Chain A
């Protein structure tokens, strides 16, 4: 006689799991990680490995020894944070920098709120911003130690956005600022200045397409952010092209793509409904453009996402999904 299970419906479950979703994000980040390893050499690979290891270890230690709860590092969410943090640092950062960033990201931004699903702010961004304000020199030094396999020559210099900010500060107009940092094709395929993850737009877009195909994320947030940045910077640029950078430049530089595709779409810290996601995306786009044009930092994506993270609980409360039966009468 069989012993039968009796439980309420549904009796079947879909194939999705948290672990699989996190694995998909890691796979989607692979092209960007590969490009930065090829461009900047082993230092980036070291950053990724150290970042992942220290994020996982921090989570493990907090869960096991501090909270004495079941350890859930196998859900891979800490691995994602480690990868993202590594891609948010200058490629030549020392190993201890990412260790500190990881401890802040996981320990402070994630575990102190209660772990996965409970945090208000994107952990990797909190780690990055913590490092940015604590180690401003290290976090904005883009000297490269040399590239792997000699694909590109060693270079040193500011990021395109940094160069613009610096130039404008020194009273130059945009046309006087060295233009080779500003060409579109470079940005799109291979741009050498910036954080590890900002090097190649095409690699990030590949990851985006993968996430969409796997239905891990919807296009709503990234598309809203990019459109907002394009439109708003377009208006400024049309008004004064000597003072304000052009919209294409704004979309493809800095961490905008990385942030829009991988950080702003973090489930935990983004709104649940399409309506909320659109407002969230517009907010990020606006803040990004204003920080870039008027702020003292050359780059604003991290701040924009963190600021909008604060608004998520409110957006969830007031932006409800379309209920069944609430459409216009008759179809």
Chain B
């Protein structure tokens, strides 16, 4: 029987309409805008200034804290400015603007297609290389990978789980890389297992990607320690906690870290980036982005240099259709609606999804009929109807904390399933932020 997580979940239409589109190389042209806030944690500090010449893969910013990261130039050319620029939400973030001139790479980057299998590095060397390459989690959270590869001393990693679930509808970039570069992903996995000192690895893939399962299974034959686990199609299987539950049957207790179950989860895209960083000396300067939507005439999976404006990608992909009403960075369940199409891509961008007004319609809100479908759908075992009620009652933060609002992973299953069209997650987010603030201030005291 295929595995899956044990609580809640929904079955949105998977809409994997771009899965047949092989990855195309998106040209590095015009200007690149490289954000300094591409990772969770403190923004990086720029180390270049206007007028500097940079090569592909050259460090342009250094970490400014423990949880922070290196940023590299994705293009070769001249730094035009180092200045704040609007990100997808319109917030001003420090960017390094580089005018593209040619495509000259740093000499130490191995650009050949040859697959390098041997891993001659020690765990510490691996972690250093991953850190130097600016690798972050590509599943969406952009957590610096080197931090995750060095768990705190009192925690013991037992296994690595590669996340190839891609449970968000529409997204196919992970599907494509698993089909096109399975061996490199698995070597990346082996590298991370060595860094963590574990001898068990898994790749979790949902059943709706048979080609990826086939190609990964075939490649995994050469990796006896890594096992491909086929999972049922069920959202949000790719959530870190849900995936650990699905693959090894352990649940992360409330308030604890995933590592407390002994599992470290990394996205397959991250694994590929680790392979390139360690074996090919290639920092994280590009990623595969799905450009999709039923209203688009052609579906694409592009390998795009980081810092490319989204408007540029859409333009090359065929332009925004007349009836496009919402452009989303990521999938329809957890992606962020883009307010500023001129914003540049960042490391963790996995998709640009274009939806019509009909596809993204929010129905009129009506009375809660207490069907409890939201509670049945919640993968964390919460009661969204109750959290919504308490949020609207205003200031009932004690009860909200008791009802574990902070456990919410914001997957959107509750809002998705609600027959009355109640924006449950919106209300939960508001009170979750408040409750987290209260908890933090309590810790300080």
Would A326 and B381 be within 8 Å (CB), given that A10-B415, A11-B360, A75-B366 are in contact? yes
Residues of A in contact with B, size category = 35 or more
User: What residue in chain A is nearest B322 (Cβ atoms)?
Assistant: A2
Chain-A contact segment, one of B40-48, B129-137, B282-290, B368-376: B368-376
Shortest distance from the beta carbon of A208 to any chain B beta carbon, whole Å: 17
A54 to B118, CA, bound (A): 79
Closest to A114 in B: B367
**B120-128, B217-225, B271-279, B404-412 - interface stretch:** B404-412
Cβ of B204 under 8 Å from chain A: no
Contact A323 B369 (CB under 8 A): no
Bound: A321/B369 CA distance, A: 18
State whether A17 touches B367 (Cβ < 8 A).
no
Q: Hey, which chain A residues are within 8 Å of B381, CB to CB?
A: 321-324, 326
Q: Are A10 and B332 in contact (CB under 8 A)?
A: yes
**Judging by beta carbons under 8 Å apart, are A9 and B335 in contact?**
yes
B7 touches A267 (CB 8 A): no
CA distance A329 to B248 in the complex (A): 12
Bound complex: CA A320 to CA B404 (Å): 11
Residues B416 and A13 in contact, CB atoms below 8 Å apart: yes
**CA gap between A329 and B253 in the complex, in Å:** 9
Residue interface mask B309-349, A partner, CB < 8 A = 1: 00000000000101011111000111111110100000000
Q: Are the C-beta atoms of B369 and A10 separated by less than 8 Å? A: no
A16 in the interface (beta carbon within 8 A): yes
* CB–CB A12/B407 < 8 A: no
Task: Give the docked Cα–Cα distance between A173 and B410 (Å).
Answer: 63
- Assess the B362–A272 pair: CB atoms within 8 A: no
Q: In the assembled complex, which residues on chain B have CB atoms less than 8 Å from the CB atom of A2?
A: 320, 322, 324-325
Interface membership of A6, Cβ < 8 A: yes
Cβ 8 A contact of B380, one of A10, A115, A267, A323: A323
- Complex Cα distance, B360 from A10, in Å, reads 9
Alpha-carbon separation in the docked complex, A155 to B328 (Å):
67
Q: A267-B371, A272-B385, A322-B381 are in contact. Are A4 and B254 (CB under 8 A)?
A: no
Tell me which residues across on chain A come within 8 A of B362, comparing CB atoms.
7, 13
CB contacts under 8 Å to B, within A117-134, are: 117-118
Q: With an 8 A cutoff between CB atoms, is B52 at the interface?
A: no
Select A18's contact among B256, B407, B420, beta carbons within 8 Å: B420
Task: Write the A1-37 contact mask toward B (1 if CB under 8 angstroms, else 0).
Answer: 0111111111111101110110000000000000000
Instruction: Among B245, B325, B420, find the residue whose CB has the most chain A CB atoms closer than 10 A.
Output: B420
- Report if B352 contacts A (CB, 8 A): no
On chain A, the residues within 8 Å of B407 by CB distance are 323-324
Q: Is residue B241 within 8 Å, beta carbon to beta carbon, of the partner chain?
A: yes
Q: Is B429 an interface residue (CB 8 A)?
A: yes
Check A323/B250 contact, CB under 8 A, given A11-B355, A118-B367: no
The answer to whether A9 and B412 have CB atoms under 8 Å apart is: yes
Interchain CA distance A121-B212 in the complex, whole Å: 53
Q: How far is the CB of A284 from chain B (nearest CB, A)?
A: 18
Write the chain A residue with the least CB distance to B413.
A10
Chain B interface size, under 10 / 10 to 19 / 20 to 34 / 35 or more:
35 or more
User: Once the chains bind, are B251 and A324 in contact (CB under 8 Å)?
Assistant: yes
Q: Does A232 touch B at the CB level, under 8 Å?
A: no
What residues of chain B lie closer than 8 Å to A8, measured between beta carbons? 337, 425-426, 429
Q: Please tell me if A116 contacts chain B, counting CB pairs below 8 Å.
A: yes
- Residues in chain A near residue B385, CB distance under 8 A: 272
Cα(A3)–Cα(B429), bound, Å:
26
Known A75-B366, A272-B370: A327·B251 in contact at CB below 8 Å: yes
> Closest chain A residue to B368 by CB distance?
A117
A147 on interface, CB distance cutoff 8 Å: no
Q: Is A268 an interface residue (CB 8 A)?
A: yes
Q: Are A267 and B12 in contact (CB under 8 A)?
A: no
Instruction: Collect the chain A residues with CB atoms within 8 Å of residue B93's CB.
Output: none
Contact with A along B220-252 (1 / 0, CB 8 A): 000000000000000000000100010011111
Q: A324-B254, A325-B251 are in contact. Are A13 and B363 (CB under 8 A)?
A: yes
Q: At the interface, yes or no: B398 with Cβ under 8 Å from chain A?
A: no
With CB as the reference atom, state the residue of chain B lying closest to A22.
B369
Which of B6, B254, B328, B371 lies at the interface centre, i.e. has the most chain A CB atoms within 10 A of its CB?
B371
B330 CB to closest chain A CB (Å) equals 8
Q: B351 to nearest A CB, angstroms?
A: 12
Flag if B327 contacts A4 (CB, 8 Å): yes
From residue A250, how far is it (CB to closest CB) to chain B in Å?
Answer: 29
Q: Which of A17, A118, A273, A322 contacts B363 (CB 8 A)?
A: A17
- A12 and B418 CA atoms in complex are apart in Å by 12
Q: Is the CB of A268 within 8 A of B363?
A: no
- Minimum CB–CB distance from A285 to chain B (whole Å) comes to 21
Please determine whether B366 and A18 come into contact, CB atoms closer than 8 angstroms: yes
Bound CA–CA A12/B235 (angstroms): 13
The answer for the CA separation of A2 and B339 in the assembled complex, in Å, is 12
B19 at the interface (CB under 8 A from A): no
A330 contacts B338, C-beta separation under 8 Å: no
Binary A-proximity of B348-392 (CB < 8 A = 1, otherwise 0): 000001010101111100111111110100111111011000000
Closest chain B residue, CB of each to CB of A216: B371
B301 proximal to A (CB < 8 A): no
Q: Which residues of B contact A7 (CB under 8 A)?
A: 326, 337, 362
- Is there contact, CB below 8 Å, between A12 and B12? yes
The reply on B10 being an interface residue by CB < 8 A is yes
**Within 8 Å of chain A (Cβ to Cβ): is B197?**
no
Q: Smallest CB–CB gap between B411 and chain A, Å?
A: 8
B270 at the interface (CB under 8 A from A): no
Can you name the residue of chain A whose Cβ is closest to the Cβ of B325?
A5
Q: In the complex, are the beta carbons of A4 and B325 less than 8 A apart? A: yes
When distances are taken between beta carbons in the complex, the residues of chain A under 8 Å from B368 are 117
The closest CB in chain A to the CB of B249 belongs to A331
Using A117-B367, A117-B370, A273-B375 as known contacts, say yes or no to A10 and B426 having CB atoms under 8 A apart.
no
Contacts of B341 in A (CB 8 A): 4
Complex Cα distance, B89 from A32, in Å, reads 55
> Do A4 and B383 contact each other (CB < 8 Å), given the known contacts A11-B355, A14-B12?
no
10 smallest CB-CB distances across A and B, nearest first, come from: A331-B249, A10-B412, A12-B332, A323-B381, A272-B372, A117-B367, A325-B253, A16-B419, A324-B380, A6-B337
A-B contact pairs, 28 of them (CB 8 A): A4-B325, A7-B326, A9-B332, A9-B337, A11-B333, A12-B12, A13-B361, A13-B416, A14-B417, A16-B417, A18-B419, A21-B371, A21-B419, A72-B366, A116-B366, A116-B367, A117-B367, A118-B367, A272-B372, A321-B382, A321-B383, A322-B7, A323-B380, A323-B382, A324-B251, A325-B253, A327-B6, A331-B248
Chain B residues with a Cβ under 8 A of chain A: 6-7, 10, 12, 169, 241, 245, 248-254, 256, 320, 322, 324-328, 332-339, 341, 353, 355, 357, 359-363, 366-373, 375, 378-383, 385-386, 404, 407, 410, 412, 415-421, 425-426, 429
